[in-house]
Structure 1
Amino acid sequence: MDRIVAAQVFIAINERGSLIKAAESLDMSRAMVTRYLAQIEQWAGARLLHRTTRRLGLTAAGEATLARCRDMLAIAEAIPVVADAEPDEPHGMLRIACSQSLGQASLAAAVATYLKRHPRTSVDLQIGNRAVDLVAERIDLAIRITNQLDPNVIARPLAICESVVCAAPAYLQAHGTPQRPEDLAQHNCLTYSYFGKSLWTFEHENQPLNVPVSGNLSANDSVVLLHAAIAGTGIALQPLFSAAPLLASGELVSLLPNYRPQSMGIHGIYTSRQQLSATLRTMLDFLTGWFAETMG
């Protein structure tokens, strides 16, 4: 972890008197402040704070560490930084995490376009469907599709992810076409889950409708379910960005046109707004525009 930022965090904790107030003053999540405090205590090899229900106090080691943190910031401010000559020029590497479906359908192309515009940058794209620990795994930016954000993270809305219920023509010929969401109970539904049962949420006439569905195939990767749907295995609920080319080609058919599946937010997740690098800032701006053009 960045020792300069850690010093800023420790100073803010002592000046503000609490971790929550320090987080607010630094525009940082409470979880990140806690992690920086734990890391600086590990570096110091000692407990730095006395904590009670009402206040925080410095230990002897904490007083010495606070003085060193202030010295460190003073030195850092006095040293000219090479990058200061071009503070707004994106350069260096970004580690970005995202799901396979989003990476395959959109993000890989977006990143390639960004890299052409900013040749001094590079991207390490980490593909996976679990929620990564940004600090532990050194991730600069995680792109997540969710409506349930952790309140401790910093999130920038990038786009809205629409979904579609779809199936292959062969499946519909063999099993019929559902006319209402309730009809899905009679069909083999491919669920995004570790279990064989799930809830699909629709909106109809401005009212939410939750429908339990089940089937003989579930997976924790929507791309797997997409290919199963193409093969005629069952009915899938898919992100529109993944299904759109297959709907256009006729390999899949959109179902239940009068019922709108619940949309989800696409968010850029990062650890702190403080000292946001030019590369991360321009990437976030670029992705906002990219998704507006490709999903708008």
Structure 2
Amino acid sequence: MAIFVQVVESGSFSATARQLGASPSAISRNISKLEHALSVRLLHRTTRKLRLSEQGEAVYQHCRQMLDAANAAMVVSGQGNAEPQGLVSVSVPKAIGHLVLHPHIPAFLQRYPKVDVRLRLEDRYMDLIDDHIDLALRITERPAPGLIGRQLMTIDHLLCATPHYLSRHGVPQHPQDLIQHSCIYLGETPNDARWKFRQAGKTVTVNVRGRYAANHTGVRLDAVRQHIGIGSLPYFTARQALENGEIVPVLPEWDFISNYHGGLWLLYAPSQHLPARLRVFIDYLVTCLGQAPHSKRLA
């Protein structure tokens, strides 16, 4: 019913989808379920616009009143029960969830004993509505419009190898030198073996080769440690091994451009009354993962 109200007030499925961080098909399915439950046609759909049916107009008025009453109840309950409680469902890429987010969760659970956390570690895109997600962590340069976004950190990607490997095979001085090396890459698509670099406004693309490819950053890190070759790794995966000298950066004067590169954004649907459990979880992540810019509505 809440989604139905938003569709009516925004004027389209696509606008509502942008506002809620969902797909238009997810919005359409929700409206169809409501129509089926009420046994009434609520909207007349055309390719250009939506129009309320006569019954839909009456249902909309009642749903609008229901939402106003629910919002008022949330305000009252928030004033009377200040302690956060309930479930927080979070969608996060696998490596980020394992290596970046998970280490901070035990302390959060201890601090907020009435808040439960469900991590959905998936590299695929998850729909906030269809997949019942409260918060989504996504690596992107352009967050979805209509969502509330906070950038938590920057994800840098780099090339690494062991000193032993480089002593035997030489240290690349230019991206084109990688053609002569064994490279460890993602391996999910042919483009994963096309490595792109940028320096002083100049872009260089190299088709690399290697005997080992793996779509897990932890596996690629271990392969680098085993002197198999030069591997592409996000910095958060490689950091500890870099600090203790097990591995070293390769071509550090070049920016390595990867799909796994950009801002790590925490995204959620706009709401007049953000539940306390979400508010404290968001604030906690901002504190743990770095000082983020203020929350803003994405244009």
Aligned mates of 2:38, 2:270 — CA distance in 1: 23
Deviation at 1:165, TM superposition (A): 0.8
Deviation at 1:245, TM superposition (A): 0.6
Aligned mates of 1:129, 1:54 — CA distance in 2: 34
Q: Does the CA contact (< 8 Å) of 2:74 and 2:273 recur in 1?
A: no
Which runs of no fewer than 5 residues in structure 2 stay unpaired? Answer: 292-299
TM, length-normalised to structure 2: 0.80
Instruction: Tell me which residue corresponds to 1:283.
Output: 281
- Mapping of residues 136-285 of structure 1, within 5 Å: 136-147=130-141, 149-151=143-145, 154-195=148-189, 197-262=192-257, 263-285=261-283
Alignment coverage as a number of residue pairs:
286
Q: Does the CA contact (< 8 Å) of 1:28 and 1:274 recur in 2?
A: no
Q: Does the CA contact (< 8 Å) of 1:44 and 1:65 recur in 2?
A: no
Aligned mates of 2:57, 2:206 — CA distance in 1: 59
In structure 2, do the counterparts of structure 1 residues 127 and 73 end up closer, same or farther at CA, with 3 Å as the change threshold? closer
Which amino acid is 2:244 matched to? S
- Mapping of residues 83-98 of structure 1, within 5 Å: 83-86=77-80, 89-98=83-92
Aligned mates of 1:188, 1:232 — CA distance in 2: 10
1:207-226 CA distances to partner (integer Å, 9 max, x unpaired)?
A: 34333323222232222211
Q: Secondary structure at the match of 1:104?
A: helix
Instruction: Tell me which residue corresponds to 1:3.
Output: none
Aligned mates of 2:23, 2:281 — CA distance in 1: 24
Instruction: Tell me which residue corresponds to 2:43.
Output: 49
Which amino acid is 1:11 matched to? V
RMSD: 3.2
Q: Does the CA contact (< 8 Å) of 1:29 and 1:272 recur in 2?
A: no
Q: Does the CA contact (< 8 Å) of 1:19 and 1:30 recur in 2?
A: no
Q: Does the CA contact (< 8 Å) of 1:29 and 1:154 recur in 2?
A: no
Deviation at 1:266, TM superposition (A): 0.6
Q: Does the CA contact (< 8 Å) of 2:196 and 2:203 recur in 1?
A: yes
Comparing 106-115 with 199-208, greater Cα deviation is found at: 199-208
1:34-86 CA distances to partner (integer Å, 9 max, x unpaired)?
A: 45434433433443211234442223442443244245336546758773334
Deviation at 1:254, TM superposition (A): 1.3
Q: Does the CA contact (< 8 Å) of 1:195 and 1:218 recur in 2?
A: no
Aligned mates of 2:253, 2:68 — CA distance in 1: 63
Q: Secondary structure at the match of 1:218?
A: coil
Aligned mates of 2:142, 2:213 — CA distance in 1: 21
Which amino acid is 2:265 matched to? H
In structure 2, do the counterparts of structure 1 residues 193 and 70 end up closer, same or farther at CA, with 3 Å as the change threshold? same
Aligned mates of 1:80, 1:30 — CA distance in 2: 24
1:192-234 CA distances to partner (integer Å, 9 max, x unpaired)?
A: 2314552333331243433332322223222221121112222
Q: Secondary structure at the match of 2:173?
A: coil
Work out which of the residue numbers 107, 117, 128 in structure 2 matches 1:123.
117
2:88 counterpart of 1:113: no
In structure 2, do the counterparts of structure 1 residues 216 and 60 end up closer, same or farther at CA, with 3 Å as the change threshold? farther
TM, length-normalised to structure 1: 0.80
In structure 2, do the counterparts of structure 1 residues 11 and 103 end up closer, same or farther at CA, with 3 Å as the change threshold? closer
Which runs of no fewer than 5 residues in structure 1 stay unpaired? Answer: 1-5
